[in-house]
Amino acid sequence: MGAVKSTSLSGISQTLLWTLHNRASKSRFGRIFFRDPAAEKLYLQVPYEYELYFGKPDVSHALWSHIFDRELRQWLKSHPSNQVIELGCGLETQYQRCGNGSVKWTCIDLPDVIALRRELLPESNRCRYLSADVKSGNWAHQLSTQQPVFISTQGLLMYFYPAEVKNLLSLIAAKFPNATILFDTIPPDFSKRTMNGYWKTKQYRVPPMPWGIARKNIEKTFWHWLPYANRGDVFPYTKVNHFVAKLLGFASKVPLIRNKLPYVVKVTVNSL
């Protein structure tokens, strides 16, 4: 690697190596529903003591990405040449997995991360990169706001405070009148754990994740935050053929447990 080193990443930006670790390892070694050759290649290219920091890989991020890809591919069937925006893209390779040759894709992240991404995954006409703090909202002025857009926001919103999440989602709804927004949530118990200082391994303390939301509050929170939203879906895991997905699917139906699980949520805004 050239000028930018993965080891110079810290705080929330360092977490992109955690998701890469999980996705690439599961793609490489799992007997699994999820394949990501571009992530496997990156994993070999980016030297890092992955297990020392993040522990043994688990299936979580492959599971989320599988759901994200499924929803995006479904949307692309009716919007093959429109626009996809990935917020907090890190080194995610969703474009490599789902790009169809005609969709216009924009990946947005903080400057250090975009510099690293440019070195490892060169930008192209179809897949452009923008260096921006997504909370600032400046990025939205640089993109076409009139055409339908799919906004993929994986592993990001939990690192923001609830008011910041509300502001970001409201900004998207106001700027993009025809938007499908997909994001993942964590439960309040896990959020509290990170706020109290959660060491994933002896070497790695997970950055605080101030925004957690219980299953029972998801719909009502988004209807309240986003009056323009005309549809909200919370995805079951059970459609994925993996025992952890089946277990989560079962747990999501058990009253005492369902509020203690992570979810993938889709909100559709159509204010045209």
Ligand X SMILES: C[S@@+](CC[C@H](N)C(=O)[O-])C[C@H]1O[C@@H](n2cnc3c(N)ncnc32)[C@H](O)[C@@H]1O
Q: Is 134 in the site for ligand X (CB under 6 A)?
A: yes
CA angle 115, 164, 91 (to 5 degrees): 25
In the complex, minimum distance from the CB of residue 133 to ligand X, in angstroms, rounded to a whole number: 4
- 8 Å CB contact between 155 and 161: no
In the complex, minimum distance from the CB of residue 113 to ligand X, in angstroms, rounded to a whole number: 4
Q: Side-chain half-sphere of 199: how many Cα atoms within 13 Å?
A: 4
Q: Is 51 in the site for ligand X (CB under 6 A)?
A: no
Q: Is 88 in the site for ligand X (CB under 6 A)?
A: yes
Q: Is 15 in the site for ligand X (CB under 6 A)?
A: yes
Q: Is 109 in the site for ligand X (CB under 6 A)?
A: yes
- CA distances, 228 to each of 35, 50, 152, 262 (Å): 36, 42, 19, 25
Q: Is 71 in the site for ligand X (CB under 6 A)?
A: no
- 8 Å CB contact between 127 and 107: yes
CA distance linking residue 223 with residue 231, whole number of Å: 9
Burial class (CB in 10 A: 0-12, 13-18, 19+), 186: buried
Nearer to ligand X, 1 or 254 (CB): 1
Kindly tell me which residue out of 6, 27, 106, 154 binds ligand X, with binding defined by CB under 6 A: 154
Tokens (6 digits) for 125: 């006409």
In the complex, minimum distance from the CB of residue 45 to ligand X, in angstroms, rounded to a whole number: 15
Kindly tell me which residue out of 76, 121, 156, 181 binds ligand X, with binding defined by CB under 6 A: 156
Q: Is 5 in the site for ligand X (CB under 6 A)?
A: no
In the complex, minimum distance from the CB of residue 127 to ligand X, in angstroms, rounded to a whole number: 14
In the complex, minimum distance from the CB of residue 255 to ligand X, in angstroms, rounded to a whole number: 30
The values of phi and psi at residue 237, to 5°, are: -90, -15
Q: Is 158 in the site for ligand X (CB under 6 A)?
A: no
Amino acid symbol at 54: F
In the complex, minimum distance from the CB of residue 230 to ligand X, in angstroms, rounded to a whole number: 26
Instruction: Work out whether strand 83-87 and strand 149-153 pair parallel, antiparallel, or are unpaired.
Output: parallel
Span near ligand X by CB under 6 A; candidates 27-35, 96-104, 107-115, 119-127 = 107-115
Please give the residue ranges that form the binding site for ligand X (CB under 6 A): 12-13, 15-16, 19, 88-90, 92, 109-110, 113, 133-135, 154-156, 159
